[in-house]
Structure 1
Amino acid sequence: MNVNWKGVIPAITTKFNLDDTIDYTFYADHCRWMVDAGCIGLVPLGSLGEGSTLSFDEKVTLLKTALAAVGERVPIIPGIAALSTKEAVRLAQTAQELGCSGLMVLPPYVYSSDWREMKAHVDAILNATELPALLYNNPPAYKTDFLPEQIAELAHEHSNLQAVKESSTDVRRVTAIRALLGERLDILVGVDDAIVEGIQAGAVGWIAGLVNAFPRESVELFELAVQVREGQGNRARLEELYNWFLPLLRMDTVPKFVQLIKLAQEFVGMGSAQVRGPRLELTGAELETARSTIQYALEHKPTIQA
């Protein structure tokens, strides 16, 4: 299946049972809920999916689950992250063998490196399969930064590098990458609270987090932002929806974003706040603040257009 990067693609969460095993039945239902709401693909095994806590076998089973649930409807694009380049290559090749449509390629986990080593890691993954790939740049989280010039170098050397998930939090990166590469790479926003600004700067897609709890709202927000950029949309409606959504979207940009987004899922009845160690569920003032924010949003949610 060809990958269309122009739309909302959830970085899907992983629900755990009380005994810390994975709830694969819910995972399949969650995949279907995202796609039914208008999402155009899914990214399992990402940071929001707590990929760093999953065993290789669990990752394989999650990919099989997503493929069985919605693989005939949308592309499955797993996050490729590992402690070693060898393991990342193995996961990329396994994803291709299983029938995944693309890859989201992360820099080396834990080891924050220089460009020479970062490039060697990404080169190895991109050379290991024929799948189209999305490069994930998130310097706040991974302490490595793929500069626009470096992204351009990778794009010139790898035809299967089709897109970049830009999570530097600086929307100027969108225009900088476009200035170097034009339409060669699709640029996707990777931080929820910059989605409208990113679309206005020229991004064409959104690897989204709060979509896990609010899929229809996320899809409408994205579509409105694109329409307004093209001079055809309802700006007042976009501002109304974005202003309502922003307190929730900001939950995607803090260290405990996994706990916050899974808590939001629990509030809407589509998931559990349970996380896998070393993460712990929110408590005390953190929990009360988050609960208040989510509850206020639910009580003041605008009507979503069909």
Structure 2
Amino acid sequence: MGNLEAVKKKLRGSIAPIITPFNEDGSIDFETLEQLINWHIESGSHAISVTGTTGEPSSLTLEERVQVMKAAVKAVNGRVPFVPGTGSTNHAETLYLTKIAQEIGADAALVIVPYYNKPSQHALYKHFKAVADSVDIPIIVYNIPGRTAVNLEVKTLAKLREDCPNIIGVKESNKDFEHVNRVLLECGRDFLLYSGIELLCYPMLAIGGAGYISATANVEPKKVAEMYNAWNAGNVQRALELHYELMPLNDVLFKDTNPAPVKAALGMMGKIKPVLRLPMDLPTQALQDEIREVLKRYVDLPEEVSSNS
């Protein structure tokens, strides 16, 4: 626990939530995963996360989640902090995955509010406290009410912060901006607040946020990281310019359920085979065409791809 403050200082900026690449047959493409991680680190992403929402964890078996975590920590090789997603709707699985994260040397674990079963606030407190008590590594709570059907209330989070020293922050995929302001008011300004809503990445920095975990970083890692760097250096104007520059890309990447548009875009860029596991699938052809047109504003697409409309 003694290194918590040191870890908190490192866990700032753009934590890139990497997709899980698949081969055409649906198996995990570990070689491409390593290539993506290297590209992100070279592009300036401040930390790497896998098996979060963007990594399709509910489409992976428990064994596959462990395999992805182990492959990722090996590829990162200590160059930047590593923060795997270890949460599940199943309490025992969450404990197991979070302990694995500690064993393999993760810098922190990102633990989602359990989805589908809609626990009470009291039950959420007991769940997260048990997870935090089971490990020594820092825990970042992940609140995404649009997917979990329950909102982790500020008072619940504040009690967890008070009772669990290794709960150091929260990823808020929460469009309620009043809620996220109150997180820092009630949990303390040193609590690490990350945006999981793309259009709130810049605004959350302005209220004292530590950074963001943005799916758009999969496509434009350099500019997403640069926005934090500009803000951190006091260049507010440049950060604001990047906020608006990234907005059309943010918009089109969320016209279908994440990570379907992101995988389509990465396929167009030649970075991955654009494969998802059912029940997820690629966007409609019409949306793919729209993604391609927006993408051309940001990256040079391979000629054979950009001409194939």
TM-score, normalized by the shorter chain, greater than 0.5: yes
User: What is residue 270 of structure 1 aligned with on the other side?
Assistant: 271
CA distance in 2, matches of 1:116, 1:252: 35
1:146-170 CA-to-partner distances (Å, cap 9, x unmatched) read: 1221111110010000111111122
After superposition, the Cα gap between the structure-2 partners of 1:12 and 1:254, relative to the gap in structure 1 and judged at 3 Å, is same
CA distance in 2, matches of 1:196, 1:101: 24
Moved over 4 A (4+): 251-255
The question of whether the paired residues in 1 share the 8 Å contact of 2:22 and 2:29 is answered with yes
User: What is residue 123 of structure 1 aligned with on the other side?
Assistant: 129
Q: Percent identity?
A: 25
After superposition, the Cα gap between the structure-2 partners of 1:98 and 1:239, relative to the gap in structure 1 and judged at 3 Å, is closer
Decide which of 193, 210, 229 is 1:223's aligned counterpart.
229
Give, in angstroms, the shift of residue 98 of structure 1. Answer: 1.8
Letter of the structure 2 residue corresponding to residue 285 of structure 1: A
Give, in angstroms, the shift of residue 247 of structure 1. Answer: 1.2
Indicate yes or no: 2:104 matched with 1:98: yes
The question of whether the paired residues in 2 share the 8 Å contact of 1:135 and 1:161 is answered with yes
User: What is residue 164 of structure 2 aligned with on the other side?
Assistant: 158
Gaps of 5+ in 1: 300-306
User: What is residue 144 of structure 2 aligned with on the other side?
Assistant: 138
Indicate yes or no: 2:219 matched with 1:190: no
2:53 partner SS: coil
The question of whether the paired residues in 2 share the 8 Å contact of 1:191 and 1:253 is answered with no
Indicate yes or no: 2:191 matched with 1:204: no
1:149-197 CA-to-partner distances (Å, cap 9, x unmatched) read: 1111110010000111111122333321121132341111111121111
1:188 partner SS: strand
Letter of the structure 1 residue corresponding to residue 263 of structure 2: K
- Return the TM-score normalized by structure 2: 0.89
1:48 partner SS: helix
User: What is residue 304 of structure 1 aligned with on the other side?
Assistant: none
User: What is residue 65 of structure 2 aligned with on the other side?
Assistant: 59
The question of whether the paired residues in 2 share the 8 Å contact of 1:79 and 1:106 is answered with yes
Indicate yes or no: 2:293 matched with 1:287: no
The question of whether the paired residues in 2 share the 8 Å contact of 1:266 and 1:272 is answered with yes
- Return the TM-score normalized by structure 1: 0.90
CA distance in 1, matches of 2:170, 2:101: 19
Q: What is the count of residue pairs matched by the alignment?
A: 294
* Farther-moved stretch of structure 1 (48-57 vs 37-46): 37-46
2:73 partner SS: helix
User: What is residue 245 of structure 1 aligned with on the other side?
Assistant: 246
RMSD: 1.9
